[in-house]
Amino acid sequence: MKLNIDYIINKLSDLLKIPSPSGDTEKAIQFVEDEFKSMGISTYRTNKGALIGTIEGLNTDKEVTLSGHVDTLGGMVKEIKSNGRIMFTQIGGYVWSTVEGEYVNIENSGGKRYSGTILTTKASSHVHGEETKTIERSMKNMEIRLDERVSSKEDVESLGINVGDFVFFDPRVTVTESGFIKSRHLDDKAGVVSILGIAKYLVENNIKPKYTTNFFISNYEEVGHGASAAIPEKTFEFIAIDMAAPGEGQTSDEFSVTICAKDSSGPYDLELKKRLVTLAKENDLSYQIDIYPYYGSDGSAALRAGHDFKVGLIGPGVDASHSFERTHKEAIENTIKLGILYLTK
């Protein structure tokens, strides 16, 4: 099974550079839609703005759906302070200390972007001494310093910046010669390009999957309701492709595809998990089986919404999840191969 890994990593780099926090994902959705259309895959949008692409299978009576989410962590302007600094509220679940010092862009309603930096309100050790180290990292103590000559609320408002404008984190995308991809938002753009890689392989090799296959690109996963609705009605099995989380006490790593047995929402389907493990083992893929106590997926959202189908979860290992993340191209490659095997064997 030969994959065009250069295509996949190039598309991942391009997608990572498109800001798409939950609630402002149109440009990223359009990017994925354009890729599907270039392959001749028919697509449509849900009312909520998610994207669904479909490849007809040998069996059209039942369907399978693979999901990946294009929405990411981010922020939104909460308050413009009297000193020209900006308080922001979180989009998605991250610890405040993981974004301290991060470069950001704020996009006003007219589409103009202004750069800035996330700092604590007592960032200078020469001014605040020990407080710089001890100040609690929380919404009230974090702010954005704009790279503009502003010193009042009115100065900021004159730029067209208002409460409710989106804050984009600089992903700082880096692809190393050793095959690592370092960037924010690999969760879950690494999963989305895995879906593109699966689709591209099927199309270029004129392979029909066993069942008509839907690729569900959700846009609200980070806030909990990404795939809660609009899943194609004939779906009898659903595979979420989302990042795996290596770390202390985990089996996941940055080079393998991980098959998730259980997360915070409970166990995934046992028979489907066993089938995925068998496919990985029999085809010499590098794989792991893991459990995540602080994790939910589009599969979790679908089950909570009452959908009646089997759900599995696979994905590439992504280190430092919801922080400055890293994975390796081998993890993405193994994820794509398992997805292809699942659809065709």
Q: Report the catalytic residues.
A: 221
| Residue 307: closest CA among 197, 239, 249, 228 | 228
Give the separation between CA 301 and CA 65, rounded to whole angstroms: 14
For residue 110, give both structure tokens. Answer: 């007219």
Torsion of CA 265, 268, 270, 271, to 10 degrees: 150
Amino acid identity of 8?
Answer: I
Distance (Å) of CA 127 to CA 35, 96, 123 = 51, 22, 8
Instruction: Give me the phi and psi of 304, to 5 degrees please.
Output: -65, -30
Amino acid identity of 3?
Answer: L
Distance (Å) of CA 38 to CA 30, 42, 113, 203, 219 = 12, 10, 30, 11, 21
Give the separation between CA 187 and CA 129, rounded to whole angstroms: 36
Give the separation between CA 265 and CA 277, rounded to whole angstroms: 21
Q: Strands 59-69, 211-218: parallel, antiparallel or unpaired by DSSP?
A: parallel
| CA angle centred on 217, ends 216 and 220, rounded to 5° | 115
For residue 154, give both structure tokens. Answer: 């009115």
Residues 6 or more apart whose CB falls under 8 angstroms from that of 90 comprise 73, 75, 96, 139
Give the separation between CA 50 and CA 29, rounded to whole angstroms: 7
Q: 181 near 327, Cβ under 8 Å? A: yes
Give the separation between CA 190 and CA 54, rounded to whole angstroms: 20
